[in-house]
């Protein structure tokens, strides 16, 4: 039988003394965006989110081994995907030396860890520099596992992958538990799946529906209202016979969308006007169009009437889940819709709604709108993992925990 996610053991279930002097492997998600030109970290949000767990373990006197991936090096060593700058940044954040291990297979790491004083931290190089990591190789997994006595998953965003560091290595541990961040993710997402406060409002944006259909299918069932905007809206509008010009849409999804629309029409809210342009360029002229979009024009953001409509819906109280931007928010002139929605979600949270925002793009949009982390109930670090879980798939990295 599958254990409900919110019944998993977490750091909170143990006293600090339990970790004193023990070697603890923490699978973190330090897959941060890197500025290649300056070899610097563009956004350290994912590192900061793991600090409560790392601080707790330092205070407990554990010997902490941190493992993560960065990007997709596919088993080769790529200088620009090294975690060395991440380990330096972590050292600044915790105001403590963080040792860095280039290759745990060669560096006699086990002995090094034994000799480390309690409360020390060591960070391993990008685990995906070894092709065995994503292959969930048995020997690689047991080599990793041999470094520690306790396993902690603090990488919700990679928990949908059965890799060595997220799954294979955990199998051999007597104590394998969720870190503070993972347990917070589980708490909010389980509640949303099982007993969201009503009205339950879902806001879906982004470019594609295809990756989100299972999640969408389940959310359509449980939500009271569902706003569909961004590129995802144009397949719905086209299926409804509306002229979408040259806007992005998914032909292969039209039949599915027609079915869904027939069943859930009363819940679905789509854009009623758009910001359009003839080309997908940052500075080309743009204008506003009503529902039907003229030929050779593409919609790149929601229009002012739609913003007004969405503002009147995103009010709270209840539960709000938002995934995906309302337009091409990376370009200034198409960011207004997303910024307004971010601010509306924050305002609804002030009014008492529980808000969960998920996915890298959506979190970037929250920042662009200058909405503070504290103005949203929970910002989920897991894009793919979150959608897979909402779609009904199990997360091996969570399932394996005690
Ligand atoms: P996703 O990964 O599916 O969540 O998509 C995120 C991307 O969707 C962002 O990079 C946006 O630029 C893009 N996007 C949002 N709205 C539109 C649109 N109307 N047309 C094209 N791309 C869009």
CA of 51 to the centre of ligand 1 (A): 31
Q: What is the mean pLDDT of each run of 10 residues along the chain (402 residues)?
A: 67 94 97 86 90 97 98 93 97 97 84 94 97 97 96 94 97 95 91 90 93 90 96 96 96 95 96 97 93 95 98 94 95 96 97 91 89 93 85 90 92
What pLDDT does 45 receive? 85
- Which residue is closest in CA terms to ligand 1's atom 5? 206
What pLDDT does 5 receive? 60
What pLDDT does 245 receive? 97
Full set of structural domains in the chain with CATH: 7-181 (3.40.50.1260), 189-390 (3.40.50.1260)
- Which residue is closest in CA terms to ligand 1's atom 10? 328
Mutation pick for ligand 1 pocket among 323, 324, 330 (CB with most ligand atoms within 8 Å):
324
Q: Look up residue 174 and give its two tokens.
A: 């007597």
CA dihedral sign of residues 315, 194, 227, 268: negative
Q: How far apart are CA 291 and CA 386, in angstroms?
A: 32
From the alpha carbon of 247, which atom of ligand 1 is closest? 20
- Is residue 397 within 6 Å of ligand 1 at its C-beta? no
- Is residue 248 within 6 Å of ligand 1 at its C-beta? yes
- Which residue is closest in CA terms to ligand 1's atom 1? 206
Q: At residue 102, what are phi and psi to the nearest 5 degrees?
A: -70, -40
What pLDDT does 1 receive? 40
Q: Look up residue 356 and give its two tokens.
A: 């969960």
The residues assigned a catalytic role are: 46, 208, 360, 384
What pLDDT does 89 receive? 97
Separation in Å, CA 159 to CA 25, 86, 298, 396: 16, 21, 36, 6
- Is residue 303 within 6 Å of ligand 1 at its C-beta? no
Q: Please write the tens of the pLDDT for every residue from 184-216.
A: 998 888 888 888 999 999 999 999 898 888 899
CA of 328 to the centre of ligand 1 (A): 5
- Is residue 328 within 6 Å of ligand 1 at its C-beta? yes
Asked whether the bond before 317 is cis by omega within 30 degrees of 0, the reply is: yes
Using a 10 angstrom Cβ sphere, with 0-12 exposed, 13-18 middle and 19 or more buried, the burial of residue 211 is middle
328: nearest Cα among 290, 291, 279, 295: 279
Q: At residue 337, what are phi and psi to the nearest 5 degrees?
A: -60, -45
Q: How far apart are CA 200 and CA 139, in angstroms?
A: 46
Separation in Å, CA 92 to CA 36, 44, 58, 68, 95: 21, 12, 15, 18, 5
From the alpha carbon of 212, which atom of ligand 1 is closest? 3
352: nearest Cα among 329, 370, 377: 377
What pLDDT does 9 receive? 92
Q: How far apart are CA 231 and CA 298, in angstroms?
A: 10
Q: How far apart are CA 73 and CA 76, in angstroms?
A: 6
- Is residue 206 within 6 Å of ligand 1 at its C-beta? yes
Mutation pick for ligand 1 pocket among 207, 227, 253, 359 (CB with most ligand atoms within 8 Å):
207
Q: Which residues of 27-49 are buried (b: 16+ CB within 10 A; e: fewer)?
A: bbbbbbebeeeeeebeebbbbeb
Element of type H or E holding 290 = none
What pLDDT does 363 receive? 86
- Is residue 327 within 6 Å of ligand 1 at its C-beta? yes
Name the CA dihedral angle for 41, 383, 357, 80, rounded to a multiple of 10 degrees.
0
CA of 186 to the centre of ligand 1 (A): 27
From the alpha carbon of 325, which atom of ligand 1 is closest? 15
CA of 300 to the centre of ligand 1 (A): 8
What pLDDT does 352 receive? 95
Chain centre to alpha carbon of residue 55: 22
- Is residue 361 within 6 Å of ligand 1 at its C-beta? yes
Q: Look up residue 182 and give its two tokens.
A: 């993972």
Pair 182, 158: CB distance under 8 Å: no
From the alpha carbon of 229, which atom of ligand 1 is closest? 16
List helix spans (H) across 195-253: 213-222, 232-239
For residue 153, give the 3-state DSSP assignment: strand
- Which residue is closest in CA terms to ligand 1's atom 20? 231
For residue 202, give the 3-state DSSP assignment: strand
């Amino acid at each position: 039988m599958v254990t409900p996610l919110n019944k998993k053991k977490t750091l909170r279930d143990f006293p600090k003394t339990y970790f004193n002097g023990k070697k603890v492997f923490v699978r973190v998600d330090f897959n941060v965006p890197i500025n290649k030109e300056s070899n610097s970290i563009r956004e350290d949000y994912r590192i900061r989110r793991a600090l409560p767990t790392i601080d707790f373990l330092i205070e407990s006197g554990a010997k902490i081994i941190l493992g993560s991936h960065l990007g997709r090096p596919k088993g080769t060593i790529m200088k620009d995907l090294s975690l060395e700058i991440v380990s330096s940044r972590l050292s600044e954040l915790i105001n403590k030396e963080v040792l860095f291990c280039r290759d745990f297979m060669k560096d006699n790491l086990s002995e090094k860890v034994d000799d480390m004083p309690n409360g020390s931290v060591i960070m391993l190089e990008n685990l995906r520099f070894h092709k065995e990591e994503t292959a969930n190789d048995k020997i690689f997994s047991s080599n990793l596992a041999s470094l520690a006595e306790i396993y902690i998953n603090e990488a919700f965003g990679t928990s949908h992958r059965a890799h060595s560091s997220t799954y294979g290595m955990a199998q051999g541990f007597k104590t394998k538990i969720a870190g503070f961040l993972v347990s917070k993710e589980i708490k909010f997402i389980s509640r949303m799946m099982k007993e969201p406060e009503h009205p339950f409002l879902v806001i879906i944006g982004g470019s594609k529906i295809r990756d989100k259909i299972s999640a969408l299918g389940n959310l359509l069932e449980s939500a009271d209202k569902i706003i569909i905007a961004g590129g995802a809206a144009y397949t719905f509008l086209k299926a409804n016979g509306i002229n979408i010009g040259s806007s992005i849409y998914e032909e292969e999804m039209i039949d599915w969308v027609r079915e869904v629309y027939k069943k859930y029409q009363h819940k679905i809210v789509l854009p009623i006007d758009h910001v359009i342009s003839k080309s997908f360029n940052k500075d080309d002229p743009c204008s506003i169009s009503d529902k039907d979009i003229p030929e050779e024009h593409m919609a790149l953001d929601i229009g002012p009437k739609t913003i007004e409509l969405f503002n009147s819906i995103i009010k709270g109280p209840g539960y709000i889940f938002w995934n995906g931007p309302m337009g091409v928010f990376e370009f200034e002139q198409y960011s207004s819709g997303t910024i307004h929605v971010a601010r509306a979600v924050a305002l609804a949270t002030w009014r008492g709604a529980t808000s969960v925002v998920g996915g890298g793009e959506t979190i970037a949009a929250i920042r662009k709108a200058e909405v503070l982390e504290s103005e949203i109930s929970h910002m989920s670090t897991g894009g793919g993992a979150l959608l897979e879980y909402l779609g009904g798939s199990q997360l091996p990295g969570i399932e394996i925990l005690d």
